[in-house]
Structure 1
Amino acid sequence: MMRITWATDQGSPARPNEDFVATALGAAVVLDGMSIDMSVETGCVHGRPWYVGQLATRLLAGLLDHRVSPATALAQAIAETADAHGGRCDLSHPWTPATTVVALRARDRAADYLVLSDSTLLLDRDGRVTALTADGSGFAAADPRVAERARVGSVPIAGLRRAALLTDGATRLVDQFGLTDWPQTLTTLAERGPAALIEQVREAERTDPDGRRWPRNKPHDDATVAFCEFATP
């Protein structure tokens, strides 16, 4: 059994949250929409939050069919989302909406994962924490073939204690600020929950509003965490 809790927070009130989390019994998906200036033309009349939500819900639905691999589910979701544009958008535009993807699915004896681009998946197997991410060259957009670039795999359910799916706005404490590590991140999630972890990120960001201590492209980024705990029924 996989118990999931999650939280998300937009980075700025001046722009919508382009992260999206979708969960169901035994599966979780977290997406981080590619951030560009709001004035930049994308060729899409719907907008980036619409795209990210459409892709996330379709991917989650695909993952619930255990006969379908995560990569195939992602490819199908991308194709279905492209169709959902209804021919009203230029999907060949260089700034067409795109997103990172991290997904986790629990089956009877194994947990399947998929990571595309720079979001992060943490896995705690018997106290040994592994962080999985992928390079930034393969954002999901309108081409289903990008699913071939995803980092995919499976781990036995036996011994899997906890997992976390995090966008890069939520991993800053570790990979940009160096204020903590991945095991402590999971401990914070277990003891205080996803919202508390995001607030720790915000507290650190507020101490360096101009990015002098920690240079970054945005003072605050959208931040999303889905935390999964495993227990034997």
Structure 2
Amino acid sequence: MRVITATEAAPGRPNEDQVFHHGALVGVLDGVSAHPDLDTGCAHGPAWYTRRLVARLSEAADAALAATLPDLLATAIERVAREHPGCDLANPSTPAATACLVRDTGTELEYLVLCDSPLVADVGAETFAVVDDRFDRVYEQIRRRRSRATCPSAPPCTVPGSSRPPSASRSSPTRPAVTGSPRPIPPRRHRR
């Protein structure tokens, strides 16, 4: 498997993203940026979290060669959680990351996609993409509900005090938060 990686931090910020290649396991972790005005309940940031997650994923892969990708990710997350016991990990703004994991077994390509880290794979005769759009779908439902509640008249409507429609008002203090424990798209195997 040929792997080419590149990542770059946002100007003036630590790199919150990690790309790694460890044996047959390849991954992209996209740290979820914390809003500077939000209390995250954690002394660590997304850059710390993604670096630690890569290290724990590598350890888990070495320790359990036959483990499924969801099990590897779950083990790594549990281990990282133990590394910051004084932090409030129940806070919805605590450091988090999206994930895309791929493992080449020699005959199959296994993959796991969680949130907005898509996978595009070229397996010779076929190129395919895997995208987890569940967050986008949930956010769109919330946006529509908010739009109806804020602007019960026929669209297009605007957020009070703004000329932009609700979907464009990203800085609105009343923008709903989506919290919970997303589950990854079930891992799949693609025969070569």
Unaligned runs of 5+ in 2: 137-179
TM-score by length of 2: 0.69
Structure 1 equivalent of residue 4 of structure 2 = 5
Match of 2:188 among 153, 157, 167: 153
Secondary structure at the residue paired with 1:59? Answer: helix
| Amino acid in structure 1 at the alignment position of 2:79 | E
Residues 28 and 60 of structure 1 are in contact (CA less than 8 Å); yes or no, is this contact kept in structure 2? no
C-alpha displacement at 1:136, in angstroms?
Answer: 4.8
In the other structure, the counterpart of 2:60 is 62
Q: Verify the 8 A CA contact 2:113 2:184 in the aligned structure 1.
A: no
Give, in whole Å, the separation in 1 of the partners of 2:58 and 2:110. 13
Aligned positions of 1:178-193 closer than 5 A = none
Q: TM-score, normalised on structure 1?
A: 0.58
**CA distance in structure 1 between the partners assigned to 2:44 and 2:52 by the alignment:** 11
Q: Distance in 2 between matches of 1:29 and 1:113?
A: 9
Unaligned stretches of 5+ in structure 1? 159-233
In the alignment, the residues of structure 2 paired with residue 35 and residue 109 of structure 1 have an alpha-carbon distance, to the nearest angstrom, of 37
* Structure 1 pair 135–22 and aligned structure 2 pair: CA distance change class (3 A): same
Partner of 1:208: none
How much has 1:7 moved relative to structure 2?
Answer: 0.8
2:20 partner SS: strand
Residues 182-210 of structure 1: per-residue CA shift (max 9 Å, x gap): xxxxxxxxxxxxxxxxxxxxxxxxxxxxx
Give the 5 Å matches for 1:185-204: none
Task: Give the greater-gyration-radius structure (CA).
Answer: 2
Match of 1:108 in 2: 106
Aligned partner of residue 38 in structure 1, secondary structure: coil
Q: Against the structure 1 CA distance between its residues 150 and 78, is the aligned structure 2 distance closer, same or farther, given a 3 Å change threshold?
A: farther
Q: Give the C-alpha shift of residue 133 in structure 1.
A: 1.3
C-alpha distance 96-39 of structure 1, shift in aligned 2 (>3 A):
same
Point out the structure with the larger strand share: 1
- Tell me which residue corresponds to 1:77: 76
Per-residue Cα deviation, 1:151-191 (whole angstroms, up to 9, x for no partner): 411112x3xxxxxxxxxxxxxxxxxxxxxxxxxxxxxxxxx
Task: Give the structure, 1 or 2, with the largest relative contact order (CA under 8 Å, sep 6 or more).
Answer: 1
Count the aligned residue pairs. 148
Distance of 2:12 and 2:36 partners within structure 1: 10
Query: What does the per-residue CA deviation read over 1:79-129, in whole Å, with 9 as the maximum and x for residues that have no partner?
Result: 1111111x2101011201111000111113222111000111111233422
Determine what percentage of the aligned residue pairs are the same residue.
34
Aligned-CA RMSD value: 2.1
Within a 5 Å distance, the mapping from 1:22-41 to structure 2 comes to 22-41=20-39
User: In the TM superposition, what is the alpha-carbon distance from 1:16 to its structure 2 partner?
Assistant: 1.7
